[in-house]
């Protein structure tokens, strides 16, 4: 029962733990000498800062992730705000109710992220000017009817939600061991997934061939322009474990790919949303 037990446990999953803790190898001695200089109560704190130094991402990285997330939330928030305000776009009743719920969440995410960034003594990025036709400001992109055609609107909503899920997922490693910030990001991430599930059900009710989950890398829309949001979703192997037919279970290729959502890098996501930003 001692600190080394903890470190030994870590070493089982991270062989480099001692190097991480201090590349100069003096850290352990420093650390265990620490007890002679400070009261024991301070040791957990010292341990915490030691791990933070070893594993913690830089403040710059955390800030970058938050600003990136804020940019994506600005996109979604304005998108749904405009859609709800567009006369006759969304049928009254359950559809309008659901989109209003989603709109509210996206606006709450904007506020939450802005507050979080401010609390880190950083300045939230400004909201970009958006072109939801995906025309880079021309207003005549492939989704020019996004606020006049309900099916076009739902298709873009599906792409935004599925992409949002992948975007947050891709940033999780950059928030490794970041405590509350990571938890908040995860708590947003799963809300986006709930949205995606519902939007897909709304599209299914309109005749689209989609399920609440992503099958293979099928975009379910039929437009090549949205395919980058779905590429890479067809993985059958996770962390070296083949999922299809795993351990003799009747897990189809479709089920294997549906069971795991895949991350996207920041560069991939920024490329996907670029046509929507003026």
Partner 1 sequence: MGVQKPKLMNMRNSTKSEDQALIKEQDFFSSKLERRSFLRFAGAGAAGMALVAAGCKKDKMEAGFYLGSGDIGILNYAYALEQLEAAFYTQVAASFYTGATQAEKDLLIDIRDHEIAHREFFKNALGSNAIGGLEVNFSSINFADRTSVLGTAKAFEDLGVSAYNGAGFLIKDAGYLTVAGKIVSVEARHAALIRDLISNGSFANSEVVDANGLDKSRMPSEVLGIASAFVKTKLNANDLPTT
Residue closer to partner 1, measured from CB, 172 or 208: 172
Instruction: Find the part of the chain contacting partner 1 (CB under 8 A) among 11-19, 59-67, 118-126, 132-140.
Output: 11-19
13 to 52: interface string for partner 1, x by CB under 8 A = xx-------------xx--xx-xx--xxxxxxx-xx----
- The per-residue b/e assignment along 88-118, b for 16 or more CB within 10 angstroms, e otherwise, is ebbeeeebeebbeebbebbbebbebbbebbe
110 to 139: interface string for partner 1, x by CB under 8 A = -xx---------------------------
Instruction: Compute the least distance from the CB of residue 123 to partner 1, in Å.
Output: 20
Query: What residues are paired with 130 via a beta bridge?
Result: 277
Instruction: Compute the least distance from the CB of residue 140 to partner 1, in Å.
Output: 32
CB hemisphere CA count around 194 (13 angstroms): 12
74 to 113: interface string for partner 1, x by CB under 8 A = --------------------x--xx--xx-xxxxxx-xx-
* Spatial separation of the C-alpha atoms in residues 123 and 67, rounded to whole Å: 9
Residue closer to partner 1, measured from CB, 6 or 278: 6
Q: Segment 226-255, which members bind partner 1 (CB under 8 A)? A: 238-239, 241, 243, 246-247, 249-252, 255
* Spatial separation of the C-alpha atoms in residues 263 and 168, rounded to whole Å: 8
Is 129 within 8 Å of 137 (Cβ atoms)? yes
Residue closer to partner 1, measured from CB, 2 or 58: 2
Told to check if 140 binds partner 1 by CB under 8 A, we report no
Choose, by CB under 8 A, the member of 74, 169, 229, 276 that binds partner 1: 169
SS (H, E, C) 184-252: HHHHHHHHHHHHHHHHHHHHHHCCCCCCCCCCCCCCCCCCHHHHHHCCCCCCCEECCEECCCHHHCCCC
Instruction: Compute the least distance from the CB of residue 141 to partner 1, in Å.
Output: 28
Q: Segment 200-219, which members bind partner 1 (CB under 8 A)? A: 201, 211-213
Residue closer to partner 1, measured from CB, 55 or 130: 55
* Spatial separation of the C-alpha atoms in residues 136 and 76, rounded to whole Å: 16
Number of neighbouring beta carbons within 10 Å of residue 141? 17
Choose, by CB under 8 A, the member of 134, 155, 156, 182 that binds partner 1: 182
């Amino acid at each position: 029962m001692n600190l080394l037990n903890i470190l030994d446990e870590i070493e089982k999953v991270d062989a480099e733990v001692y190097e991480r803790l201090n590349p100069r190898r003096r850290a352990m001695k420093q650390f265990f000498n620490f007890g002679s200089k400070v009261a024991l109560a301070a040791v957990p704190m010292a341990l915490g800062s030691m791990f933070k130094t070893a594993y913690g991402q830089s403040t710059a990285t955390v800030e970058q992730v938050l600003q990136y997330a804020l940019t994506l939330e600005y996109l979604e928030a304005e998108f749904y705000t405009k859609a709800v305000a567009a006369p006759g776009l969304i049928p009254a009743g359950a559809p309008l109710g659901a989109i209003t719920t989603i709109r509210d969440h996206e606006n709450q995410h904007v506020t939450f992220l802005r507050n979080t960034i401010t609390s880190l003594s950083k300045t939230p990025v400004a909201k970009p000017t958006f072109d939801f036709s995906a025309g880079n400001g021309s207003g005549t992109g492939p989704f020019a009817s996004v606020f006049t055609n309900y099916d076009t609107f739902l298709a873009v909503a599906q792409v935004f939600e599925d992409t949002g899920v992948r975007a947050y997922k891709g940033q999780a490693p950059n928030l490794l061991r970041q405590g509350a910030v990571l938890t908040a990001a995860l708590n947003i991430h799963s809300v986006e997934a709930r949205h995606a599930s519902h939007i897909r059900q709304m599209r299914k009710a309109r005749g689209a061939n989609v399920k609440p989950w992503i099958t293979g890398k099928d975009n379910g829309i039929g437009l090549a322009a949205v395919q980058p949001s779905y590429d890479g979703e067809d993985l059958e192997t996770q962390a070296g474990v083949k999922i299809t037919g795993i351990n003799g279970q009747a897990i189809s290729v479709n089920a294997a790919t549906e069971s795991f959502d895949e991350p996207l890098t920041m560069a991939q996501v920024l490329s996907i949303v670029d046509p929507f930003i003026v």
